[in-house]
């Protein structure tokens, strides 16, 4: 009864005092998205809008929502969605907004999206389960190459803090416009790792997610730059600087964490620009990694730099040092498909062994989450 009194007191406070914070709640009059099994209803209260579009990552083009007779709200229903994590926005008379009825949003480059999950199948790996969880840390290292501190996201598996053993390390790199937060937020990396490790499908490992934009110290809003607009193409990107200095990140991790410090226990993988980085870094550090993953990678050098030269000879050296896995994945509709096809043809002609995974869809996070889920079980098995 006392608890009810407190609640009543605070509720009165909500109603009466505008300046009282910590008491905000979404207006529950509009529930959206409403997920029931594989069907999802979307609802938006925008009484004066002339047109509302739903733009969603499971549809090729935005679809118009319709005004529902019963309550004058904008409505759309997607049926029989396959398991997965999905994102969407509304466009109201030309202005893009996230769903005002949901608090679950993600930032991708310079835009927010509302997200939800359809459970089942591989998407259960994207859901937080009642299993042991690893730790996710935002940590800064001093980059002597760049002359300033830079931020990393680091995942340590459940049991890391209480044990003494050392772990293998995966370096997991984001794409253009991304940053050190992308793989864990958009990519659900720590959730996927927790699930695969708990199920015995992946080896317990440390995962390091650095910031691949040399000009950034950290993600937008998390650095001394302040609350700046997001720059899709940061200066000093894909010019060899980041790849050349990657050794200092490995040094930092090896001196601050209990790692196995040999190539058999190191992997590097990345999406898009992160695939580009992984391709060149692994070839230029041929004794550092035995596992390489290129997810929807850009391949062709975007600048002139020694790190991008003599790649054939470097790849041969990488192979001669005992590569265990060279894994390439891309979607059929990806705009980098042809670039990757050329790489595959070239590697085949060189007799360079690799595993190829072709998926549906294009250059998008639904593929990158899937690739990570498939790639992790292949690591550190030897």
**Sites for a second copy among residues 190-249 (CB under 8 A):** 217-218, 220-224, 226-227, 229-230, 232-233, 237-239
| CA pair distance 96, 277, nearest whole angstrom | 32
Considering beta carbons, is residue 127 or 378 the nearer one to a second copy? 127
Query: CA angle 121-372-332, nearest 5°?
Result: 85
Considering beta carbons, is residue 263 or 298 the nearer one to a second copy? 298
SS3 assignment, position 97: strand
SS3 assignment, position 179: coil
Considering beta carbons, is residue 109 or 319 the nearer one to a second copy? 109
Q: Which stretch binds a second copy (CB under 8 A): 40-48, 195-203, 341-349, 374-382?
A: 40-48
- Residue the block writes with tokens 């680091």: 154
Number of residues this chain uses to bind a second copy (CB under 8 A): 111
Considering beta carbons, is residue 20 or 348 the nearer one to a second copy? 20
* Residues ≥6 apart with Cβ < 8 Å to 310: none
Closest by Cα among 96, 111, 81, 348 to 229: 111
Considering beta carbons, is residue 25 or 36 the nearer one to a second copy? 25
Q: Which of 316, 347, 361, 378 binds a second copy (CB under 8 A)?
A: 361
Asked if 329 is part of the footprint of a second copy (rule: CB under 8 A), the reply reads no
* Cα dihedral 244→248→254→257 (10° resolution): -120
Considering beta carbons, is residue 7 or 350 the nearer one to a second copy? 7
Query: Would you say 363 and 339 are in contact if contact means Cβ atoms under 8 Å apart?
Result: no
Closest by Cα among 9, 211, 185 to 108: 185
The contact mask relative to a second copy for 334-353 (x = CB under 8 A, - = no) is xx------------------
The contact mask relative to a second copy for 126-165 (x = CB under 8 A, - = no) is -xxxx-xx-xxxxxx-------xx-x------x--xx---
The contact mask relative to a second copy for 41-60 (x = CB under 8 A, - = no) is ---xxxxxxx----x-x-xx
| CA pair distance 327, 334, nearest whole angstrom | 17
């Amino acid at each position: 009864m006392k608890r009810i009194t407190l609640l009543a007191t605070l509720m009165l406070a909500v109603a009466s005092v505008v300046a009282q914070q910590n008491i905000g709640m979404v207006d529950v009059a509009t529930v959206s998205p409403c997920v029931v099994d594989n069907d999802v209803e979307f609802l938006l209260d925008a009484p004066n809008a002339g047109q509302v579009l739903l733009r969603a990552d499971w549809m090729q083009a935005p679809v118009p929502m319709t005004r529902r007779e019963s309550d004058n709200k904008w409505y759309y229903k997607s049926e029989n969605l396959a398991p997965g994590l999905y994102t969407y926005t509304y466009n109201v008379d030309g202005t893009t907004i996230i769903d005002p009825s949901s608090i679950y949003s993600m930032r991708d480059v310079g835009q927010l999206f509302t997200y939800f999950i359809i459970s089942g199948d591989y998407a259960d790996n994207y859901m937080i389960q009642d299993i042991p969880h690893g730790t996710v840390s935002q940590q800064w290292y001093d980059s002597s190459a760049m002359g300033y501190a830079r931020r990393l996201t680091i995942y340590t598996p459940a049991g890391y803090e209480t044990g003494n053993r050392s772990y293998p390390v995966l370096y997991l790199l984001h794409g253009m416009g991304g940053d050190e937060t992308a793989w864990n937020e958009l990519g659900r990396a720590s959730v996927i790792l927790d699930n695969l490790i708990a199920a015995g499908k992946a080896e317990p490992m440390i995962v390091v997610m650095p910031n691949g934009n040399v000009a950034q110290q950290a993600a937008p809003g998390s650095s001394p730059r302040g609350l700046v607009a997001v720059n899709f193409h940061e200066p000093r990107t894909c010019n060899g600087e980041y790849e050349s200095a990657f050794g200092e990140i490995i040094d930092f991790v090896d001196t601050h964490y209990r790692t196995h410090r040999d190539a058999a226990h190191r992997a590097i993988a990345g999406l898009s620009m992160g695939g580009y980085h992984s391709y060149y870094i692994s070839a230029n550090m041929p004794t550092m990694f035995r596992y390489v993953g290129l997810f929807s990678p850009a391949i062709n050098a975007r600048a002139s730099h020694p790190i991008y030269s003599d790649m054939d000879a470097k790849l041969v050296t990488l192979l001669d040092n005992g590569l265990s896995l060279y894994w390439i994945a891309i979607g059929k509709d990806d705009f980098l498909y042809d670039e990757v096809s050329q790489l595959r043809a070239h590697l085949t002609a060189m007799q360079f062994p690799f595993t190829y995974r072709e998926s549906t869809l294009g250059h998008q996070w639904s593929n990158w989450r899937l690739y990570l889920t498939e790639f992790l079980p292949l690591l550190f098995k030897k």
